[in-house]
A and B are shown apart, each in its own frame.
Chain A
Amino acid sequence: MSSLRSPLRHLTSFGVMLALIASFAIAPLGTAIAQDSTPGAGGEFDAAPYEAPADGVEGEIITDGSSTVFPITQAAAEEFSNIVDGVDITVDFSGTGGGFERFCEGETAISNASRAIAEDEVAICAENGVDYYEFEVAFDGITVVVPESNTELTCISVETLAAVWAPDSEITNLNQINPELSDLELDLYGPGTDSGTFDYFTDAIVGEEGASREDYTPSEDDQVLVEGVSNSEGGFGYFGYSYFAANEDVLNAVAVAQSPDLSDCVLPSPETIQDGTYAPLSRPLYVYVTAQQLQEDPALQEFMRFYLANAEELAVLAEYIGSPEETYAEDVERLETAIDGSGTPDSQSTPDA
């Protein structure tokens, strides 16, 4: 008897459960959880030179690109939304190349990049009519590292470094780098081929972008590289300076010399990276912004004004190294010409050879 009535009840409870799940997701979106739930810890960041527009702006900004630049743009978005309400910003990390792919399709307004845009990417952007400006937001130094236990290898010349990482390199032992060093099998680590760091390093050291030996342990996750190098006696690798700075207790940085006789060894540090003496491995980090949207979209204009006015502080906040002051001043000026349309997008100017 009861089985005639109960199925309906089963179905109703089932519906109730569905409704519960749905309301779980939707209920807190009302007033239950306040949007701004992070007071207190604030104050360490002064958004000094930026003034929010009185009547506010609204809009949506989609950004993608380098995972290296991600923390800076994330910090910018976060601090910006503390001042200006109503601009929805998403920051993604598909890698420099993946970011440009979307950027040149017109999918994103801002592309984070740990290297300058490449020729083939310029061509795709041009084909799709996407004009852009390039702004430098920070500096990073690619750091060559060995484990803390290795105190022998303190300096390496660009030439030797190139020999180690060249395709078909035969160097597998520390004493092949320098015959005076001990007999220690090398264990190589480096970023994978999708990484902007890999592109930059191979270009600057080996001399051809993408040319690298393949018998090393690659990872897109720098933390894996840190652990690999620090846990292997013969560990040897390269990655971004911030990963070295956060792990100085288990890693040693190897100074880089431009002359083969090691007369000009320079260790990476915030100073040597910023003033460029740590060459050729200090590199600028960029954001690329679409020119069209920059002229039309007040939300993007305000966000970029805020971003560039605070770029140095944001870079430091994300544990990178600020670019020189003049660079930022120039960035800010160029942004205004980009907004009022009097500037020439970087995609229009002839690339410097």
Chain B
Amino acid sequence: MSILSTPGGVIRGHLQSSPNVRRRKVRGEVVRGLYIAATVSAVAALVVLLISIWTRGASGLDWAFVTNMASSRAERAGLQTALLGSLWIIAFTALIAIPVGIGAAIYLEEYAPRTWWTRILQTNISNLAGVPSVVYGLLGLGIFAEILALGRTIITGALTMALLILPIIIISSQEAIRAVPLSLRQGAFALGATPWQVVRHHVLPAAMPGILTGTILALSRAVGETAPLLVAGATGYANFNPGGIFDGYTVLPIQIFNWTGRPQDEFREIAAAGIIVLMIVLLSMNSVAIFLRYRFSKRMRW
């Protein structure tokens, strides 16, 4: 009692000398070190990956590599067909998945009554986000390519990819919408706004940075996915560029996968160069996400 009631200096002096406290401080330092190590190892893995790919692939990287068609000869092979295939797929995936995904998120957050039925929906969307991507590929092959007879075409690939990223878009959009302060909605309702007016004029603009970030990150995931399209019908080689949604196609990851399997060393070099191009596509999509987030959050005032 007397120790506790003495001025601070004494307590501090007492605590510093206690072996118990020193042990706790050491433990604190150790844990801090572990966290730093965890952060560094994640970044280090990325750096090592980038360096090893860059050293292997940089020599094969030039403009002709991007504009050449695929070829059976490594020195002539290029990415044009695969790059265009990826862009077609991603464009139509976005056109399908974004409106549906954001719409579903708005419904679930702003309109849906909190019933057992909504809870089942919600749980299942979360479960869908965890389904392995190859399963979506099989689904796409079975439903879109076979039953709907769309064949192994761009529209089949885009629908498959849209299904794959829908849960991610819904969940991230929901979180962005949920983060909008309730007072904003209440204010609007108090002024007599309809639910749609509240959503359109207040909730959506405020949630937009979060929605966009989640959506673009989901789209980047779709760009890098190989397994579902391998199953749902991207081809290994096409001698033509896709010109419509009912054309056959190939995409960047599958072109790269195909090259890594060839016996000649030159193909593995251009595979590394292909990975660099894929990384550039992904990184630029991610920077668009960061930029948009920055722009929208700066404009938002409440």
Contact = CB atoms under 8 A, between A and B. Distances in A.
Interface in A34-84: 35, 37-38, 41, 60, 62, 67, 70-71, 74-75, 77-78, 80-81
A71 B262 contact: yes
A3 B237 contact: no
B95 A6 contact: no
Contacts, number: 135
Given A21-B90, A223-B260, A223-B263, A90 B235 contact: yes
A146 B4 CA distance: 77
A77 B263 contact: no
A29 interface: yes
A28 interface: yes
Q: Does more than half of chain A's interface fall in helix, strand or loop, or is it mixed?
A: helix
Q: In the A-B complex, list the 7 residue pairs whose CB atoms are closest, starting with the nearest.
A: A25-B87, A75-B72, A90-B235, A246-B263, A7-B205, A91-B237, A25-B91
B80 interface: yes
12 contacts: A2-B301, A3-B202, A6-B299, A7-B200, A18-B94, A25-B91, A29-B241, A41-B73, A41-B75, A87-B239, A223-B260, A243-B263
Give the size category of A's interface with B: 35 or more
Contact of B263 (A4, A75, A247): A247
Interface stretch (A9-17, A180-188, A330-338): A9-17
A62 B248 contact: yes
Give the size category of B's interface with A: 35 or more
Nearest to B93: A21
Contact of A38 (B76, B91, B95, B264): B76
Given A25-B84, A91-B235, A14 B208 contact: yes
Nearest to B203: A7
B201 A7 contact: yes
Contacts of A11: 204
Contacts of A26: 88, 91
Given A21-B94, A78-B71, A317-B72, 11 more contacts: A3-B302, A14-B212, A22-B94, A24-B91, A37-B64, A37-B80, A70-B237, A71-B72, A89-B238, A89-B239, A221-B260
Nearest to A70: B236
A163 B100 CA distance: 60
A245 interface: yes
